Amino acid sequence: MAAATTTGIASTAAQWKELILKAIDSNSHLKHSSFFQLATIGSNGRPSNRTVVFRGFQEDTDKIRINTDCRSHKIEDLKHCPFAEICWYFTDSWEQFRINGLIDVIDGSNSDPVKLQQRENSWFAGSLKSRLQYLSPDPGLPCISDELPRDINLDPSQGPVGSFCLLVLDPDQVDYLNLKINMRLAFRSCKSENGDKHWTSERIIP
């Protein structure tokens, strides 16, 4: 049951998740609504930002899934600093979500069988075309030819290749802005004594 606090409303449920699911649904006719920006910090102290694809929430949690290439620069950034922030703007409903949290990098060397299964599930959830990109040359290297390799083949039943990586962002702060009604909400997570995750919300000045 929700209870009033000095900072807002405390709840075990992620209220921002309900808002984002509603935004995804109301903007579903726009293809770009499934893309958001992911910002990381490199070992040189500089930020890096790129557009990635929303791959859904992890089972019945508020954790966000992202597929990526183990050879991309973002992996090195996350090894240096595992915290990252998502910025997701829905152009039709004028809603922005800034989601900050810790990212778990799950590659083929992970020792947790549950996480390896999650990685495999995410691999097979993608299209064959999207899976083929993980067989391309290392991203970021100089391009010595204008032609892409044509002899790349992949068995549709084959499991994740070594370069495929699942990122799982566990949010602890969410900043929500609705420009249509000029409303901004700040969500913060906390842990109870038994380790359960709770969220507090507070309306703040836009």
Ordered by start, the domain boundaries in the chain are 3-137+159-204
Tell me which fold the domain 3-137+159-204 belongs to. Pnp Oxidase; Chain A (2.30.110)
Judge whether 11 and 206 are in contact, CB under 8 Å: no
**Of residues 113 and 147, more confidently modeled:** 113
Rounded (to 5) percent helix, strand, coil in the chain: 20, 40, 40
pTM for the full predicted model? 0.88
154 has a pLDDT exceeding 50: yes
**Confidence (pLDDT) at 38:** 98
pLDDT for 95-107, tens place per residue? 999 999 999 999 9
Q: How buried is residue 111: exposed, middle or buried, by Cβ count under 10 Å (0-12/13-18/19+)?
A: exposed
